[in-house]
Amino acid sequence: MGQHKPTIAIVGAGMGGLAAAGTLRLAGMNVQVYEQAPQFERIGAGIQMMPNSMKVLRRIGIEDRLRRVSFQPYSHLNREWDTGTVIRELPMPESLFGAPYLCMHRADLHEALASVVPEGIVHLNKKLVGLDQAGCQVTLAFADGTRAQADAVVGADGVHSVVRDIIIGPDTPLHKGRIAYRAVFSSALLKATDVVGRSRTKWWGLDRHIVIYYTTADRSQVYFVTSVPEPAEWLTRESWSAKGDVQELRKAYEGFHPEVRTVLDACPDCHKWAILEREPLPRWSDGRVVLLGDACHPMTPYMAQGAATAIEDAAILARCLEEVKGEDIEGAFRRYEAHRKPRTSRIQAISSANTWMKGGDGDTSWLYGYDAWNVPLAPAESYAETL
Ligand SMILES: Cc1cc2nc3c(=O)[nH]c(=O)nc-3n(C[C@H](O)[C@H](O)[C@H](O)COP(=O)(O)OP(=O)(O)OC[C@H]3O[C@@H](n4cnc5c(N)ncnc54)[C@H](O)[C@@H]3O)c2cc1C
């Protein structure tokens, strides 16, 4: 670093915000994280981390911890909803893309990310309500009346980003009439039948699907997440806590393969989530404020890449900022956006269409083989006037 070690304020301590805290600290920056929640809660959900995000997590220093707790599936397995016929299987040995494919409890990933951020850096109960850029400083205003200052701000405040509303303007989510049911429960409830198996399995129905996998190394927890059409207009603010009706869920999967029905029959209760999408944003930054993760490229969960791409963002942002040594922060933000946007837009589009690995043998290396630490970045000058 040069003489000036910039202070970067990160808004939001979700997957992307904490990953950015890790990568920016590695790049030698002062980091402060402001999170609206009064405390972190263990949300009942699984999450898949593919080799592309595992490479970032490796350098942040949490790979070993995640390996100890996570389930490492043999493959991405895609099957027909009723017959169980395999329509595509992609074995995922570590040698394929140079990092493991892990499935885990969402809270285990969040705790691991939080574990590398020293105490005193994450400030809870700090709901951002305003931003003011003046000269080389940005002032953050919080709902409790307090303020903070930083050289730059990273808006990692999720799909309902206040930072995005401030720098781009409010947007309206698109609701395509689909919801996700999800549940994590003890595999003891499956009564010793290993219907979940060694892989992460996506069961493809005509207008719905279900993804099932273990979330723990000892296979003691099973997780599923669905996508189903919802006849009634059911919309929440993408709440993680809305309860679903397990009877309705079972009914929605009535004709599915017995292995799916065994899992749903064993499930004691479930949560429900409205799947909302958004149009790609015209830009991600404004001066010394930039967006990251769901705040700038929210996507359907169908490719399991929402958190993964937020984690990739964190690595590229750190590389761009490290190079400017606290000087041209605005240029570093433009360079980050220019590199990241084509990739995340492509993933958003495939995710929205829900065609990923639905048969065929299309290339997957561009997605899982991406290495955010080593992928070439075009020279900073080439981005100067492009955005
Ligand atoms: C059902 C489902 C399954 C999924 N499965 C996967 C998967 O397997 N793999 C994968 O990679 N992705 C998956 N995703 C996507 C993934 O969960 C998201 O993309 C990811 O959480 C985005 O991270 P983020 O940090 O951008 O936002 P978030 O994780 O939403 O974090 C945003 C944070 O900002 C805070 N915040 C919000 N507003 C403010 C404010 N005004 N002031 C301060 N703080 C604020 C919030 O409290 C929150 O802590 C899934 C999503 C869903 C819905």
DSSP 295-361: GT----GGGS-HHHHHHHHHHHHHHHHHHHTTS-HHHHHHHHHHHHHHHHHHHHHHHHHT-TTSSS-
Q: Sign of the CA dihedral 326, 330, 333, 334?
A: negative
Which region holds residue 292: left if phi is over 0, alpha if psi is between -120 and 50, else beta?
Answer: beta
pLDDT tens profile 287-328: 999 999 999 999 999 999 999 999 999 999 999 999 998 889
Is 181's pLDDT higher than 60? yes
- Give the pTM: 0.96
Q: Name the residue among 257, 175, 268, 266 with its Cα closest to residue 209.
A: 257
Least confident residue range of 223-232, 340-349, 370-379: 223-232
Ligand 1, atom 30, lies closest to the CA of 158
Average of per-residue pLDDT across 40-47:
89
pLDDT band at 116 (very low <50, low <70, confident <90, very high): very high
Which tokens go with 45? 């959900």
Q: Which atom of ligand 1 is nearest to the CA of 47?
A: 8
Place of tokens 């750190």: 318
> 334 C-alpha to center of ligand 1: Å?
23
Which region holds residue 171: left if phi is over 0, alpha if psi is between -120 and 50, else beta?
Answer: beta
Integer Cα distance of 297 and 340 in angstroms? 10
Q: What pLDDT does residue 2 have? A: 47
CB 44 near ligand 1, within 6 Å: no
How far does CA 258 lie from the centroid of its chain? 31
Least confident residue range of 20-34, 176-190, 203-217: 176-190
Integer Cα distance of 109 and 378 in angstroms? 31
Q: Name the residue among 267, 211, 213, 265 with its Cα closest to residue 81.
A: 211
- Summarize the chain as % helix, strand, coil (round to 5): 35, 25, 40
Q: Which of the listed residues 10, 18, 23, 36 should we mutate to test ligand 1's pocket, taking the one with most ligand atoms within 8 A of CB?
A: 36
pLDDT band at 387 (very low <50, low <70, confident <90, very high): very low
CB 10 near ligand 1, within 6 Å: no
> 240 C-alpha to center of ligand 1: Å?
10
Helix (H) or strand (E) holding 245: none
Residue 382 DSSP SS3: helix
Is 205's pLDDT higher than 90? yes
Q: Name the residue among 18, 20, 34 with its Cα closest to residue 320.
A: 20
pLDDT tens profile 56-103: 999 999 999 999 999 999 999 999 999 999 999 999 999 999 999 999
Mean confidence (pLDDT) of the chain: 93
CB 312 near ligand 1, within 6 Å: no
